[in-house]
Amino acid sequence: MDEPPFAFASRRSPVYARHGVVASSQPLASEAGLEILRQGGNAADAAVATAATLALTEPTSTGLGGDMFALHYDAATAKVTALNGSGRAPAALTLDLLKEQGFADALPPLHAHNITVPGACAGWCDLLERHGSMEMKQVLAPATRLAKEGFPVEPITAHYWAGGAKRQLLQAPGGSQLLIEGRAPAAGEIFRNPNLARTFEAIAEGGKDAFYRGDLAKRIAAVVQAAGGTMTTEDLAAHHSTWDEPLHTSYRGVRLWECPPNGQGLVALLTLNLLSELDLPADGLSADRLHLVTEALRLAFADGHRYIADPAKEKVPLRGLLSPTYAKARGFALLGSMRAARAFAYVGGRRPRSGTFPLAGAARYRRAPAEAEPAGPGQRECTRTAATGG
């Protein structure tokens, strides 16, 4: 039998639809977005409905206590906008305070000081206000219904939920609300979250003020402070999202967009710019191609670790980082390091213990991109950045 004409080895058929598509990591969340589309909602409405349902069905991945970023394409104007819905650190959380408390070098991963102001709720509201077509009550209806009636927990979610229960929920204030008789729900078990349903209803009725200025804000601040944090109701009331100029690059004839820092999308664009300078093998699963992609990602993440920050506090040299000149320099460094690794591998007739060790030197000793680096032919300069981070 002839092999099917698939571009990838997964053997999964592409998805085609006439009226819209929703993609997420959870079938019930995708169904919530489709429900909104069937009711006449648009992509922004469906995205918020999907995100809210994910907050319920995959609490190990996302939630109202976290942040959100969004890229929105307006077909009427052909314009892409970027929404930064990430929250800032509490105002009282200063470096001096951390030093006084013995955290000069690092924080324990589960310490309350790691909690920033939750930005997801405001981001949902702001996305609907500018680009949505439905009221929040209608958009949150699928997630609210599932929270009340219950939903079957997916196997992968159950696995990570159990790990989170042991590591965090059993000791966390309010962690019992995500447990069933002191344990995580099993795969296929029905889980209900009536408290989250009430929170969804409060947001549907009162908008973001219900979350950041009302009783919910008092409860959030109280729980964080009881756990050793510094968040106050003033921190919550002061929160706001920002609309930013998105970043973009072109890769093999396709223009790709990302949110600017403090988001991590810059890493993806840096990776693609670097790969544009390389002659990638055609076989997507070949060892040589995967090696090049992996090493390109390593360099891009190194740049991200060095430069991505809150642009309100640090100047991020976006134009220089995304310039063709910098991509060529990074590509040259990558190929030179790989050639050095291959040559070293045969010294003495044996390979080194780590074939990527020489690359660390290339990543460490690099020329920092200049903000004044001229853009290449056809490259639009995107220098407006987000004014938030945390």
Residue 282 pLDDT > 80: yes
In the predicted structure, residue 373 carries a pLDDT above the cut 50:
no
Q: Does any domain span residue 74? A: yes
Give domain status of residue 11, yes or no: no
**Residue 206's domain spans which residues?**
27-150+192-243
Q: How far apart are CA 157 and CA 368, in angstroms?
A: 41
> What mean pLDDT is reported for the chain?
86
Query: Which whole number is the average pLDDT over 296-318?
Result: 93
- Same domain, yes or no, for 343 and 316? yes
Q: Are residues 234 and 260 in the same domain?
A: no
**Confidence band, pLDDT 50/70/90 cuts, at residue 342:** low
Average pLDDT score over residue span 295-320: 93
Tens-place pLDDT, residues 86-111: 999 999 999 999 999 999 999 999 99
Residue 66 lies inside a defined structural domain of this protein: yes
Q: Are 83 and 230 found together in one domain? A: yes
Q: Give yes or no: residues 209 and 288 share one domain.
A: no
pLDDT at 333: 79
pTM of the model: 0.83
Whole-number pLDDT of residue 94: 95
Residue 10 in any domain: the answer is no
Residue 248 lies in a domain: no
What is the number of other CB atoms lying within 10 angstroms of the CB of residue 318? 23
**Which pLDDT belongs to residue 362?**
30
Q: Any idea which of 112-116, 192-196, 279-283 has the lowest mean pLDDT?
A: 279-283
Q: Is 295 left (phi over 0), alpha (psi -120 to 50) or beta?
A: alpha
Residue 279 in any domain: the answer is yes
Residues 59 and 142 in one domain: yes
In a domain, 137, yes or no: yes
Count of domains in the chain? 2
Q: Report which of residues 368 and 32 the model is more confident about.
A: 32
Average confidence (pLDDT) over 53-60: 96
Give the pLDDT band of residue 332 (cuts 50, 70, 90): confident
Same domain, 213 and 138: yes
We report the CATH number of the domain holding residue 331 as: 1.10.246.130
